[in-house]
Amino acid sequence: GAVVSQHPSRVICKSGTSVKIECRSLDFQATTMFWYRQFPKQSLMLMATSNEGSKATYEQGVEKDKFLINHASLTLSTLTVTSAHPEDSSFYICSAVWPGRGNTEAFFGQGTRLTVV
Amino acid sequence: QQQVKQSPQSLIVQKGGISIINCAYENTAFDYFPWYQQFPGKGPALLIAIRPDVSEKKEGRFTISFNKSAKQFSLHIMDSQPGDSATYFCAASLGNTGKLIFGQGTTLQVKP
């Protein structure tokens, strides 16, 4: 199956600093990637759609200035949490759409646990 | 109309039993319905998926049953094993986008 790698898997940062999370498709090119946020014992909430070479599309209620998304190549999308605060602490997960089988199957990274102290 | 409702929230099954998780959707334009398995601290992994033109799909011990008229679909895990203990999410997608709307999740515990 397609492999999506996310880095780092765990990060602790101080309040007010910025954190960058990387999402890479290792064995395929992905023109579209997605970023999700997951709180403990809850479902995945879509934050934004990342399109290679264009601006990200954010879901309603997601602050685009706080969650900066860059999809600079067909294998890499990054999520930067700017001026992080404790309420931004969460599990962030990316997915990449595998171009086979009609551009439908989404494969997920292993997630990044962000803790803001 | 974009919601996917999943039940039960939690499920306990004895080893060897059948685990059944149900999902319902409203938007009839959804055309792809995957199930994901997630272990604590990990990202979701695709288990099995179905499209509305098929009423059932089986892969190993996992079966999706799809009822288009009722706008419902379910996951059946046959011969459930302790290693199946995880959280399961149903999802729905519109068009060939990969953009997924997730159900609330079901925490499955399989007792030895």
Phi/psi at B89 (5° precision): -120, 130
Asked whether the bond before B52 is cis by omega within 30 degrees of 0, the reply is no
Supply the pLDDT for residue A1: 66
Distance CA A70, CA B71 (A): 37
- The tokens for B55 are 């009423």
How confident is the model at residue A101, as a pLDDT?
Answer: 63
Mean pLDDT of A30-51: 93
Per-residue pLDDT band for A102 (boundaries 50, 70, 90) equals: low
CB-CB contact of A96 with A4 (8 Å) = yes
A69: pLDDT strictly greater than 80: yes
Provide the shortest C-alpha distance from residue A111 to chain B (in Å).
5
Q: B34: cis peptide before it, omega within 30°?
A: no
What is d(CA B98, CA A106) in angstroms, rounded to the nearest whole number?
5
The interface residues of chain A toward chain B in range 80-99, judged by CB-CB distance below 8 A, are: 91, 93, 95-98
Taking only the tens place, the pLDDT of each residue in B7-55 is: 999 999 999 999 999 999 999 999 999 999 999 999 999 999 999 999 9
Taking Cα atoms as reference points, which of A112, A114, A113, A106 lies closest to residue A34?
A106
- Tens digits of residue pLDDT in B58-105: 999 999 999 999 999 999 999 999 999 999 999 999 877 788 999 999
B100·A113 Cβ contact <8 A: no
CA distances from B32 to A35, A48, A112, B29 (A): 19, 20, 27, 9
Record: contact B100-A106, CB cut-off 8 A: yes
Quick check: B96 and A46 CB within 8 A?
Answer: no
What value does the mean pLDDT take over residues A59-72?
94
Residue A58, pLDDT above cutoff 90: yes
Confidence of residue A54 (pLDDT cuts 50, 70, 90): confident
Asked if B86 and B38 touch (Cβ cutoff 8 Å), the reply is yes
Looking at residue B70, what is its pLDDT? 96
Chain A contact present for B63, CB below 8 A: no
**Single-letter code of the amino acid located at A34:** F
pLDDT confidence bin for A53, thresholds 50/70/90? confident
Q: Which of A23, A25, A98, A104 to mutate to test the interface with B (most CBs of B within 10 A)?
A: A104
According to the model, what pLDDT value does residue A2 have? 82
Q: What is the pLDDT of residue A105?
A: 83
Tell me, letter by letter, the H, E, C secondary structure of chain A.
CCCEEEECCEEEECCCCCEEEEEEECCCCCCEEEEEEECCCCCEEEEEEEECCCCCEECCCCCCCCEEEEEEECCEEEEEECCCCHHHCEEEEEEEECCHHHHCCEEECCCEEEEEC
Give the Cα separation of A41 and B107 in Å (integer). 9
Contact B43 A49 (CB under 8 A): no
Instruction: Identify the residue among A108, A112, A113, A114 best suited for mutation to test binding to B, counting B beta carbons within 10 A and taking the highest.
Output: A108
